[in-house]
A and B are shown apart, each in its own frame.
Chain A
Amino acid sequence: MDRSLLITILTIVGFMAVSQGIIAYLILLERKIAAWVQDRIGPNRVGPLGLLQPIADGLKFLFKEEVFPTNVDRLLFVLAPSIAMITALLAAAVVPFGPTSVPPSTEYQFVIAPGTDIGILFTFAVGSLAVYGIILGGWASNNKYSFLGALRSSAQLISYEIPMGLSVVGVVLYAGSLNLERIVQQQVEGGWNVVFQPLAFLLFLTAVFAECNRLPFDLPEAEQELVGGYHTEYSAMKFALFFLGEYMHMITTSLMLTVVFWGGWYFPGISTPTSHVAVKFIVFIAKVVAFIVFYMLIRWTIPRFRFDQLMSMAWKVLIPLAIANLVCVMVVREFELSHWLLPPLSIALIVGAGVVSFRWPAAPQRRMPASLEPVAR
């Protein structure tokens, strides 16, 4: 067998096995952190410290009854969770999960498809297909909670996709490529993007939180309002696939955050281009884990938004900021100004946005003059 094909298959198998295992334990970690934040003990019955809990959960998914409620559209009902999981996994295909090099090295590769030119675009494109899983699930269930959850969710996902995409354009302007390995390489040479474009990082972070349906953006499945949102009617393995998809999304976005904004494996002084692969790998994974833990901490720190606040946040805060940020980066790049000009500009934009929102706090509720309302029919 061709050696590169063998490496590819080994990578895929390894990545899938490890990511599934990690997801199982992430759920345990999440519950532990929740317990810790709320001053509880958390799962501790299955195995020492509850360490066998994920395995028990997995088996339970397999042995529970699958329910097809009477009015569901059976094809879409089955298709929806598959789409959710397939897209979440597929989006990770071009994202490095360890040290990489440009051009792709033959010794090790910590990315499934190295050297893909469309990189980020592929991740965004496939990742945004996840909305189909959710909306099909909600539609197929023929349940009012599911339907509402799916509608909200689709509106939320498409709204936050725009700031997510816009914030990365600035990074691409510096890297000159959509390939994620190249973006890392550029940061090795020029420094972390988060230093130069902190606003873009913040926008991206907020947007990916929403894309993952994580608190404070978990409107689609807000238990208190919608029971379970789009997956109210799902049980057994299909429910598990939705969850797998969601956690996979979380991992992918943590990888993306690390790669696009935090220099990937690069850490000045600790992990430099001459360091050993293991060092690079440890640095990389440390960053990713930090993001995942950050996700979980945020969940217990910030309460859920109301839906109108959520949409206002995307359309009235993130998008204009993203456009302004893009224009700043554009101008700095075009006129070959120092890139040290970028952080102050970013901070100025953040401060400006803060001032605006404090000066006119009631802006979202402000109505147009009655004379400008559409003419009554």
Chain B
Amino acid sequence: MNGSDVAVSLGGVFSLIVPEILLLVVACVLFVGSTIRANRNLWGGVAVFGLFLAAYALWLTAAKVPTIEARAENGENISTMLFTSSILQTRLSLLVSAIALVGGLVLVLFSWNEVPDQHAGEYHACLLLSVAGLMVTGAANDLITLFLALELISIPTYVLLYLLRHDRAAQEASAKYFLLSIFSSGLLLFGFSYMYGMTGTTNIAALLDALARDPNRLPALALVALVMVVAGMGFKITAVPFHFYAPDVYQGSAPAGAAFLAFMPKAAGFVALLLVLGYTWIGGPVRGLALGPQVPILFLILAALTMCVGNVLAILQDNVKRMLAYSSVAHAGYMLIGLAVAPDLSYSTGKPITGGAEAVLFYLVAYSAMTLGAFAVITLLSTPERPVETVDDLAGLSSSHPGVAILMALFLFSLIGIPLTAGFAGKFLIFFGALAIPADQVQLSEHALWFWRLALIGAVNAAIGAWYYLRIVSAMYLRTPIKPIEQHPSWPGVTAMLICAAVTLGLGVYPWPMVKAARAAILSERSTDARTEPLAKTRND
């Protein structure tokens, strides 16, 4: 490769990350500005402006630069770009960027009145930095870029957790998160170094290509890399046994901080797993490390453990934030089913069925909407004098705040998985994927049996989950308040709640556009033609 190629590819990279750069610039303005003026309305407004600016830039970029999938479909030779560029514009990256921007907007809105004036600028700046980090995560095509993107999410998080609240619990929470998070980054980096060592490249596409040459004989080191990467990411997505920090940290930090933790690292972790293990399209569905025979088993065990531990422990909780922490653990377990199933789905006979990795993306969006919504409700009802900590604190909400109670019930129903909510659509896609492994194929029959059992475990867990979510609903509607809630939600908070509610309902009632987007992000158009058929069939069923 000569100099001009490098120059072109470098220049190309810069044009792809204009939205992220804009976010960083706005974050710089916020950081410096926060030392001059202490005004939450001003800095909140600037942050929202920054997000819209980035969204506009993303829109322009998406319109101007064709995604790599589109290039491939047009018959362009993409291999040079695929194997040299550290940032790629893919459908996945566009989808993740959109999720990041909307999620960031929701987070800015509902922490609007929760941050102290003194820290508003810095808080929003940290938030924008992590949004930028999530956007880069989706577009990363290089282990180093990916790691930097993940750190761009983590490092502001440490600051952000402590900015919201300064009591001892928050101190403990942020210190705990900091220590465990850098430990997990270390594990991740360790895994990355093995991947680099096996293949001699940090470019993800090239690396997966090298590993996929002979899928039946992955080097033994690949297993080490796999375990390390999954462990490192497992921390971010709170998979059991890497979940143990979550309840303490969620409970200790302010509700907005907990919501941030429930959304940002989890989204980044799943997207990074999809990228690094080779679930995404780049050059064909499911390749690289995800091809290894150990992957389904590994994720199967992780998924079953995570679901069970999360749900069972959530029943025992009285504190709402702690309960939501365990619930987020449980939902990570549902999503892990998708990761476990995806390789087999892709193997089976060239007519893969919806489920697997696409379902993970869909579920991620649904989960983010409903969890952020639930946290938004708690955030808006909490005041320093009367924090919403336990289930009892929500008692009688239906009489004091009927509108908020309905929204909260919607989010909780969605978390349970009641039909016509996003949670139902997500669970349906996930479980359907697990049940869709054809049992008539010799090499898959054993797996199929296991995935049936996994789906069964999932269903049982969903039923367990219903118990503790309904407990909150019953407290809101059937009991009288011990001490009435007087806090009246502010308009930014209400906006945030309404956005979450709209997504939750919208994805539940009419999931197809999102399903299509998720599938397009994972698979190219070429291969999806064959896949719409079974989906259409299920719609008729």
Contacts and interface: CB of A to CB of B under 8 A. Distances in A.
Nearest to B36: A372
Contacts of B119: 375
A75 interface: no
A372 to B, nearest CB: 6
Interface in A324-377: 368-369, 371-375, 377
Q: Interface centre among A371, A372, A374, A377, by most B CB within 10 Å?
A: A372
A368 B116 CA distance: 17
B38 A371 contact: yes
A375 B166 CA distance: 8
B167 to A, nearest CB: 8
B11 to A, nearest CB: 17
Contacts of B117: 371
Contacts of A369: 38
Contacts, number: 15
Given A374-B118, A375-B116, A375-B119, A368 B166 contact: no
B254 to A, nearest CB: 13
A372 B38 contact: yes
B443 interface: no
A369 B166 CA distance: 20
Nearest to B121: A372
A375 B119 CA distance: 9
Contacts of B35: 368, 372
A334 to B, nearest CB: 16
Contacts of B116: 375
Nearest to A374: B118
Interface residues of B, number: 7
Nearest to A373: B118
A16 B117 CA distance: 62
Interface in B15-35: 35
B155 to A, nearest CB: 20
Interface string B38-61: 100000000000000000000000
A170 B60 CA distance: 39
Nearest to A371: B38
Interface in A275-310: none
B118 A372 contact: yes
Interface in A142-201: none
B161 to A, nearest CB: 15
Interface in B214-251: none
Contacts of B118: 371-375
A371 B116 CA distance: 11
A368 B36 CA distance: 8
Contacts of A373: 118
A372 B121 CA distance: 11
Interface in B123-149: none
Nearest to B117: A371
A320 to B, nearest CB: 15
A368 B34 CA distance: 11
Contacts of B38: 369, 371-372
A377 B166 CA distance: 6
B36 to A, nearest CB: 8
A255 B19 CA distance: 50
A152 B38 CA distance: 34
Nearest to B119: A375
A293 to B, nearest CB: 45
Nearest to A377: B166
Nearest to B163: A375
Q: Interface centre among B35, B116, B118, B119, by most A CB within 10 Å?
A: B118
Nearest to A369: B38
A371 B35 CA distance: 10
A369 B38 CA distance: 10
B79 to A, nearest CB: 34
A315 to B, nearest CB: 16
Interface in B154-168: 166
A318 B118 CA distance: 30
Interface in A90-126: none
Contacts of A374: 118
A369 B37 CA distance: 9
Interface of A: 368-369, 371-375, 377
Sort A-B residue pairs by CB-CB distance and give the 10 closest, nearest first: A371-B38, A375-B166, A372-B38, A377-B166, A375-B118, A375-B116, A372-B118, A372-B35, A371-B118, A368-B35
11 contacts: A369-B38, A371-B117, A371-B118, A372-B35, A372-B38, A374-B118, A375-B116, A375-B118, A375-B119, A375-B166, A377-B166
Given A371-B118, A372-B118, A374-B118, 4 more contacts: A371-B38, A371-B117, A372-B35, A375-B116
